[in-house]
Structure 1
């Protein structure tokens, strides 16, 4: 199993940082970015081979590869998404389809979270589970969150932002474990998704699988400080988490 990071996005709501940097490299403190934290998490759980999907301002990540490898003891491979500035992340994950056959721990490049999230997913492996989503079941949900409905009998039945928050089991935090056994089905679902509409999310690919009868499971992350960085308020929250006063 390898680590996989989706770091192709432009993050326009984080300007002026993202005038020149991809969202994954926006500074949380002078020496730390989301990508730093994600690579450190992978190293902590023993995943030292990591693929990163890059696109917008890819050269900024390329220039830091050697430093990241030396700092975190990882081996990095960059995967280029040529449509990153106009298409959504269903296509980004599809660009990494050849790596899914290794089994991957996937993390969005804008999510600050502790390594306990990765450990929770790794501990949840087995019993035929092929895709496992990290789920926050503690947070009060609103309209913007990627919400999930899950039952013991059927697994995930819905994963979408477009649902009544009161009906959701929890929020998908942007971290998944994808077993090698899911690679072919997921790659096909992602292709179907971006060909239908290139602006769709990879979670729409998950929903496509669910609608076809593929079981997706969840693992609750418990009470964990984490944040998805979409705007400057989220960035301030990330700084509180990483650098508490």
Structure 2
């Protein structure tokens, strides 16, 4: 099983933490980096190889991860000279990838079983399988529905339920065959193209722990929750290298 970890972003929303470190290397629980946790989880799920798509401060990621042997994995790298979106870096690697593979953001903190997602994706032979999570959005206003100038429905401060993408995907190589390597391609574009061609993606619904570490508030929450979540995230797997320390 092969994983592509998207680790090339600048992490602008997480500044000042990402001024000196790429977002996947910021420490969680003052003990491990996000990428430590992700690599450990992938190895625990049965992945034996990974490609890191790097850009901003990519040399730090390359120096820290090396060949992946500290996790029992074989790691190689794909460098972005220009931002290519979520799927663009994958298209450039297509000929070297297996028929089905995992793609994930390098800043996701979750206890999702990546191997189970990829197994489900492969068994269904879907073009794309999206790990999804339920979010609730509280609307702080009375919501009106109008028809021809008259109010026909009213709901006071409703709570709306949505399923959102977790930034983890099972991808089939054939789903990306028609795209040009080197051009930007976003996850949104791929989904819309699949819907247009009547080949809809599958949803892998997940209800465990998930946090997209995009903002300082999210990062503070991750550090506060890590002592309680450590076992479910890392399965008490020891790491053999020193922890990272961040400087703001």
How does the TM-score come out when normalised to structure 1? Answer: 0.75
Question: Which of 203, 214, 224 is the equivalent residue of 1:218?
Answer: 203
Distance, in Å, in 2 between the alignment partners of 1:95 and 1:141 is 37
Distance, in Å, in 2 between the alignment partners of 1:41 and 1:75 is 15
Aligned to 1:71: 70
> Larger % of strand: which?
2
Question: Which of 104, 107, 112 is the equivalent residue of 1:110?
Answer: 107
Task: Give deviations 1:68-112, integer Å, cap 9, x for gaps.
Answer: 72431111001111113xx53343333333344442111111111
Say whether the 8 Å CA contact 2:47–2:115 is kept in structure 1: no
Higher relative contact order (CA closer than 8 Å, sequence separation 6+): 2
Question: Which of 192, 210, 213 is the equivalent residue of 1:207?
Answer: 192
After superposition, residues 109-128 of structure 1 pair within 5 angstroms as 109-123=106-120, 125-128=122-125
Task: Give deviations 1:127-165, integer Å, cap 9, x for gaps.
Answer: 43232111113x31489xxxxxxxxxxxxxxxxxxxxx9
Aligned to 2:212: 228
Go from structure 1 to structure 2 and tell me whether the alpha carbon gap of 1:240 and 1:122 turns closer, same or farther (over 3 Å shift).
farther
Say whether the 8 Å CA contact 2:8–2:58 is kept in structure 1: yes
Aligned to 1:62: 62
Structure 1 or 2, whichever has the larger Rg, is 2
Aligned length: 210
RMSD after superposition: 2.7
The Cα of 1:30 is off from its aligned counterpart by 3.0
For structure 1, list consecutive stretches of 5 or more residues without a partner in the other structure: 144-164
Say whether the 8 Å CA contact 1:228–1:234 is kept in structure 2: yes
Aligned to 1:47: 47
> Larger % of helix: which?
1
